Amino acid sequence: MGLLDKEFSDGNIVIARAEDLMNWARLSSIWQLGFGLACCAIEMMATSASHYDFDRFGVIPRNTPRQADAIIISGTVTLKMATRIKRLYEQMPDPKYIISMGSCANCGGPYWEHGYHVLKGIDRVIPVDVYVPGCPPRPEALLEGLLKLQDKIRNESIRKKIA
Amino acid sequence: MKNPEEIYELLKKEFNETIFGLDKDTPVENIISVDPMNIHKIGAFLKDNEELKFDSLMVLSGVDDANGTKVKDEDGTEVITGGTLSVYYHLHSTVLKHKITIKTSAPRENPEVESVYDVWRTSDWHEREAFDMFGIIFKNHPDLTRILMPYDWDAGYPLRKDYKNPEFYQGMKVPY
């Protein structure tokens, strides 16, 4: 990233590209919408708790979409819930990111054939940045997904949203 | 504590022709079949009678018997006409420690069953679920609306054997 490689002699000044600085700030404080759906949400909560500690990556749950940067779709999305998720997503300010967690959110999971009430993948409703496979994914997998999202944000450009 | 025959005899004595029969060939509790349009007073009797005291409705569930005539559509799906839809009431007396299952069947074309909402409050949401999944109409239920599916779901009742899932719901593609 090159934040610290051009240090001045007095040590208090660091120069960097504005883009890098913004991306660094953004990826280091991804506030997620406090939102869980099914068994994946249990793993997500475990990831937030002290063993895996989501907070060390700057991820804390916010209880309003208006202050959230990311939403983790953690579980089975029913058709009824999909309309609500879409509204929550639309209430989030840009830039906003979506992690689709687990098979259900990715593609319908075990409900793909006979789930008359299940949306077969959250990407039919809102654009997904990172897909985390698993049923449910272990906390390590979710952390990996978060790191992938951070990589994506790190390479973002001010001119154009790519993540 | 009463055994199923004694419960059946008590009901038969009180309600006579609205009690249809006792099925003893069951793996768990025996099943008494009754008339759907008299289930409310039968339920009240089962709950209040000193010798029965069925104070707990453990579960109320709908069943598609699929015993009508089955016709294959041109696209291969089955449509059932005639036959019945059933409602099962699993009752337990916490005082007298006995159990029984009550069954009632209504015609598929007009599946109307009396609500037992004001006998056992448990049946409130259970009846709404049976309505949501099977389309069974519970007469005198105070708020018979869908409980699981979206309120604007108009593609039918998902647990019926001849149910067909829609292509789209609110612009979202439903099949895989």
Q: Chunked in runs of 10, what are the mean pLDDT values of chain B (176 residues)?
A: 89 88 89 92 92 93 90 81 92 93 93 93 94 94 93 91 90 90
Q: Where are the domains positioned within chain B?
A: 4-162
How confident is the model over A3-27, as a mean pLDDT? 76
Give the per-residue pLDDT at A148: 94
Of A80, A108, A120, the CB nearest to B149: A80
Q: Which two tokens stand for residue A128?
A: 């997904």
Indicate if the pLDDT at residue A86 is higher than 80: yes
Give the per-residue pLDDT at B70: 86
**What's the burial of B75, exposed, middle or buried (CB within 10 Å: 0-12/13-18/19+)?**
exposed
- Kindly state whether A148 is in contact with chain B, defined as any CB-CB distance less than 8 angstroms: no
pLDDT tens figures, A108-118: 999 998 899 99
For an interface test with B, give the residue of A87, A116, A123, A126 to mutate (most B CBs within 10 A): A116
- Kindly state whether A116 is in contact with chain B, defined as any CB-CB distance less than 8 angstroms: yes
**3 state DSSP class of B106:** strand
Give the per-residue pLDDT at A98: 95
Are A116 and B174 a contacting pair at CB < 8 A?
yes
Query: What is the fold, at CATH topology level, of the domain defined by B4-162?
Result: Beta Polymerase; domain 2 (3.30.460)
| Residue A2 pLDDT level (bands cut at 50, 70, 90) | low
Backbone angles phi, psi at B40, to 5 degrees: -65, -50
Q: What's the rounded Cα separation, in Å, for the pair A161 and A151?
A: 14
Are B170 and A120 a contacting pair at CB < 8 A?
no
How confident is the model over A119-125, as a mean pLDDT? 93
Contact residues on chain B for A103, CB-CB shorter than 8 A: none
What residue in B sits closest to A82 (Cα-Cα)?
A: B172
Helix residue spans in B123-162 (DSSP H)? 123-134
- Which ipTM was obtained for this model? 0.79
Considering only the C-alpha atoms of chain A, give the largest distance between any 2 of them, rounded to a whole number of Å. Answer: 67
Amino acid at A84: R
- Kindly state whether A83 is in contact with chain B, defined as any CB-CB distance less than 8 angstroms: yes
For an interface test with B, give the residue of A76, A77, A78, A80 to mutate (most B CBs within 10 A): A80
Of A83, A117, A124, the CB nearest to B149: A117
Q: Which of these ranges, A6-15, A67-76, B33-42, has the smallest mean pLDDT? A: A6-15
- pTM for the model: 0.83
Pairwise pLDDT comparison (A2 vs B151), residue with the higher score: B151
| Residue A3 pLDDT level (bands cut at 50, 70, 90) | low
Q: Which of these ranges, A15-19, A69-73, B51-55, B164-168, has the smallest mean pLDDT? A: A15-19
Of B150, B172, B176, the CB nearest to A112: B176
